[in-house]
C-alpha cells in the first residue's frame, strides 16, 4: 500500500538581502532546488527582488525582520524599543536579550509587523504565501503571540515552526550555531500553542534548518532525516543562497553571515543531496 504523500518545500530565506544573494536564489529556483522564497521587505534589494519574484513567478512569503537593518514602520521616525540609538534594529542576539529582559514593547512589534505586511503588498501586489521570522524572531516568548494575532487578522494561514528533532545531539555544529539552534527549538515548541490557537498552520511538523556552514563541513544529508517523508503534510527546509552581507547595522556580525557558500556550489549541493529525479 502506498504511503502518505508528502510535499517537500525548500524555502530560500533572505530574498532581498542583496543582489548577489538574490541571484543565487533565482538560480536555485530555476534549477528546481528551491520552491519558494521569503522576502525581507527592508532589505537593500527588496524592490529588485520583488521584480524577480514577479518575473519568474516565484511563490513568495514575508520574512519578517525585527533584528537587522532599519524598520519600515513608525519606529523609523522616532525612538523605539526595537532600535539602537543609531536607528538600527538591535541585532540577532541583541533583540533576543532585549525580549528576555522585558525591554521590548510588544505593541511596537505589532506596528512593525503590520508595516512590513503593507510593504510586502506594495512590492508584490498581493498577499504573502506565508510569514516567518528572520532569524526565527517569530517564535520568541511574547513575540509569538503578537505574530499569531497579527497574522490571523491579516488572513495569513501559514508560518514556520522550527521544531527540530534531535538538534541537541548535533555535536558537529559549531558551538554558537549549536546553542542558537537549541534555543530556537525550545522557543518553537513553546510557540506551537499560540500559533495553533489562532489557526496558524506550520509549513511542516518538523523543520530542518540548512545552516550556511553545512556546505563547508558536512553534507546536508547529515541533517536530513528521510524518515520525515513517511509522515503526511509538508516538510519545509529553509536555506540561504548566494554570498554577501547586508550593509545595514551589525548584519555582518552574526556567525552565519561570515562564510556563506557561493550560489553555484549551494545550488549544486541542494540538487545533489535533496532533489531526486521524478
Q: Name, in order, each residue with C-beta under 8 angstroms of 233's C-beta and a sequence gap of 6 or more.
A: 6, 7, 204, 205
Name which of 275, 215, 277 is nearest 35 in CA terms: 275
- The secondary structure of the chain in percent helix, strand, coil, rounded to multiples of 5, reads 45, 15, 40
Of the chain, the end-to-end C-alpha distance in Å amounts to 20
Distance CA 89, CA 69 (A): 6
CA distance 15 to 22: 6
d(Cα 151, Cα 156) in Å, to the nearest integer? Answer: 5
Cell matching residue 81: 524599543
* Strands (DSSP E) found in 74-226: 131-133, 158-159, 201-202
* 3-class state of residue 7 by DSSP: strand
Residue 178, classified by CB atoms within 10 Å of its CB into exposed (0-12), middle (13-18) or buried (19+), is: middle
Active-site position among 13, 14, 187, 273: 13
103 is a catalytic site residue: no
Residue numbers annotated as active site? 13
Amino acid at each position: 500500500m502506498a504511503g502518505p504523500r508528502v510535499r517537500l518545500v525548500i524555502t530560500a530565506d533572505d530574498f532581498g538581502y542583496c543582489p548577489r544573494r538574490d541571484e543565487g536564489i533565482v538560480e536555485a529556483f530555476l534549477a528546481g532546488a528551491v520552491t519558494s522564497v521569503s522576502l525581507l521587505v527592508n532589505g537593500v534589494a527588496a524592490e529588485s527582488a520583488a521584480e524577480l519574484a514577479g518575473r519568474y513567478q516565484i511563490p513568495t512569503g514575508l520574512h519578517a525582520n525585527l533584528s537587522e537593518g532599519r524598520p519600515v514602520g513608525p519606529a523609523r521616525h522616532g525612538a523605539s524599543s526595537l532600535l539602537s540609538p543609531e536607528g538600527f534594529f538591535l541585532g540577532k542576539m541583541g533583540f533576543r536579550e532585549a525580549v528576555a529582559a522585558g525591554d521590548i514593547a510588544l505593541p511596537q512589534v505589532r506596528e512593525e509587523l503590520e508595516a512590513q505586511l503593507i510593504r510586502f503588498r506594495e512590492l508584490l501586489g498581493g498577499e504573502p504565501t506565508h510569514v516567518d521570522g528572520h532569524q526565527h524572531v517569530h517564535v520568541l516568548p511574547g513575540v509569538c503571540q503578537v505574530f499569531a494575532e497579527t497574522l490571523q487578522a491579516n488572513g495569513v494561514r501559514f508560518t514556520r515552526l522550527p521544531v527540530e528533532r534531535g538538534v541537541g545531539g548535533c555535536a558537529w555544529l559549531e558551538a554558537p550555531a549549536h546553542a542558537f539552534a537549541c534555543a530556537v527549538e525550545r522557543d518553537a515548541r513553546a510557540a506551537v500553542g499560540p500559533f495553533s490557537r489562532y489557526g496558524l498552520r506550520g509549513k511542516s511538523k518538523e523543520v530542518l534548518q540548512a545552516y550556511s556552514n553545512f556546505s563547508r563541513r558536512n553534507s546536508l544529508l547529515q541533517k536530513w532525516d528521510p524518515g520525515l517523508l513517511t509522515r503526511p503534510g509538508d516538510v519545509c527546509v529553509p536555506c540561504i543562497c548566494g554570498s554577501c552581507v547586508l550593509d545595514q547595522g551589525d548584519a555582518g556580525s552574526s556567525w552565519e553571515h561570515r562564510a556563506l557558500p557561493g550560489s553555484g556550489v549551494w545550488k549544486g549541493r541542494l540538487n545533489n543531496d535533496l532533489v531526486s529525479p521524478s
